Chain A
Amino acid sequence: MFDIPKESQVPFGCVTPAPVGEQPMMITGNWREYRPVIDHEKCNLCMNCVAFCPDACWQLDAAEETVAWNAKYCKGCLVCVNECSTDALSKAYELDFPDGVVRLEKPF
């Protein structure tokens, strides 16, 4: 009865495959107004950002001895900036970045 393009179809009963690491079917990081920016010179790997991020968007990259930001799920709440013990994190306006997400282009 309905003519739904293949790429738009949703699984029966709206089930989603269980995520392994990340949930690729539910990218939620496209409504930020600000994003956190790290100054690696100031970072002492205290892990506050890793511990406090409500969406696990900061992860330790042990090989590089740094913390890495995951833009796909960051909603710009800036808890990490607030909790940073060495002021290595600061906020920056999202649309100042060439890859900045436009809030109203797609609501979610």
Chain B
Amino acid sequence: MAKEMTLSGCAASAQAVKMAKVDVICSYPIRPYTAAMMELAKMVNEGELDAEFVHGEGEHAQLAVVYGASAAGARVFTGSSGVGVTYAFENYSPISGGRLPVQMMIADRALDPPGDFGSEHTDAMSARDQGWIMGWAETPQEAFDNHLINYRIGEDKRVMLPQFVCQDGYFVSHIPDKVKLPDQAQVDEFLPPYDPGNHVLDPKKPFSHGPQIRPDQGAIMDSQRAEAMLAAPAVIEEVIDSYNRIMGRSYSPWVEEFMTDGAEIVFFMQGAHAATARHAVRHLRDQGVKAGLVKLRFVRPWPTKAVAETLARFKAVGVIETSTSYGGSMRGGNLLAETRASLYDVPGRPLTTSFMAGLGGEVVPLKEFYWMAQKLTDGLKAGRMEKSVYWAGLEH
């Protein structure tokens, strides 16, 4: 029977991975993601999950183990946080180039130095150009759902790409919330066993995975990967439609709107801080400020059309960045550059700016959202935004 449990993001991820009936799991401890592996280790130990549980000797090894296991036809799961994500970096491109639907959970953690345990999206965002599907969860429920959704997207024959399934460290990974768990039969209906087809290591038909290729083959391989990423949006829409139908959910594939009816200014963001933003928007509305929230669900593939069509309806958009791109075109984070590029061809496009907020794992309190709303309102009055990046909490 479908049931409701109170689970942290990590525990919710573990439940999803169990229900996805993964074959091979490779762990290496680093907080905050490691709580998911703790749960999975218990499930394997207690016989609830029939999977091979491998302890990697580091994050690079973790990715190497699941790379091989996936090539052998297994449904695999691994994960990491912060510097663990960057330590494994070398393996990301070969896995997507090898077209293996590996799934990796990332519970964000700020990168070193200096050993900051807080949540910041920079760890995962650094890997956004490696040919992996990537998106964030706002709640343990969304984390649970995203794992199942991503397995089916990645394993679809039209896609065959690995997936980073991200959640903010601590804010999602360690704060328990109510999670509706489906029946195993519903999950089985949604997510059939992984069928690698001919793309599987077989002693009877030996081939080499990840061999050196020649420069004249490189562009062609890259074009295959690019085509797969271009094919992904249609598959994502189909998969989320199917998930909503089978599980009784109501996810939008690309962007989710909150109190956007009649809104003039909107916050555009991904991940955990959207939960606070919802409250900020409600209070702003009570004060007569026409604010709203648009939440992004996938960064890769970036939903150019959905972002353009949605944001074009508003007058000013404040992109809330939880990652940095030092010296980038927007002098702040990564999302504003993508947002502005998406809006470039939209006639009468809205004013846009970005807010660096929640860096190093700081909370983004309501008063910072009010401050951001004030900047957007001022910009709207003036007809232009004064700057393309504001650092919330560090300037007036």
Contacts and interface: CB of A to CB of B under 8 A. Distances in A.
Interface of A: 1-2, 4, 8-19, 23, 26, 106-108
B100 interface: yes
Contact of A14 (B98, B160, B216, B227): B98
A3 B98 CA distance: 21
Contacts of B216: 8, 106, 108
Given A12-B224, A26-B212, A18 B98 contact: no
Contact of A15 (B160, B209, B212, B220): B209
12 contacts: A2-B227, A4-B220, A9-B220, A10-B217, A10-B224, A14-B98, A14-B221, A15-B209, A23-B211, A26-B214, A107-B215, A108-B214
Nearest to A13: B99
Interface in B224-263: 224, 227, 230
A108 B100 CA distance: 27
Nearest to B94: A14
B209 A13 contact: yes
Contacts of A23: 211
B223 interface: yes
A86 B213 CA distance: 38
Given A8-B220, A26-B212, A26-B214, A14 B207 contact: no
B199 interface: yes
A14 B213 contact: yes
A13 B216 CA distance: 15
Nearest to B213: A14
Contacts of A18: 206-208
Interface in B171-227: 199, 206-217, 220-221, 223-224, 227
Contact of B230 (A1, A19, A106, A108): A1
Contacts of B79: none
Interface string B94-138: 000111100000000000000000000000000000000000000
A16 B211 contact: yes
Contacts of A12: 99, 199, 224
Contacts of A11: 207
A16 B220 contact: no
Given A13-B98, A16-B208, A17-B206, A2 B223 contact: yes
Contacts of B223: 1-2, 4
B74 to A, nearest CB: 16
Of listed B97, B209, B213, B215, residue having the most chain A CB within 10 A: B213
A1 to B, nearest CB: 6
B208 A10 contact: no
Given A10-B220, A23-B211, 17 more contacts: A1-B227, A2-B223, A8-B216, A9-B220, A10-B217, A10-B221, A12-B199, A14-B97, A14-B210, A14-B213, A15-B208, A16-B208, A16-B211, A17-B207, A17-B208, A18-B208, A26-B213
Contacts of B209: 13, 15
A13 B211 CA distance: 10
A19 B100 CA distance: 22
Of listed B99, B206, B220, residue having the most chain A CB within 10 A: B220
Contacts of B230: 1
A27 to B, nearest CB: 9
Contacts of B199: 12-13, 15
A13 B217 contact: no
Nearest to B208: A16
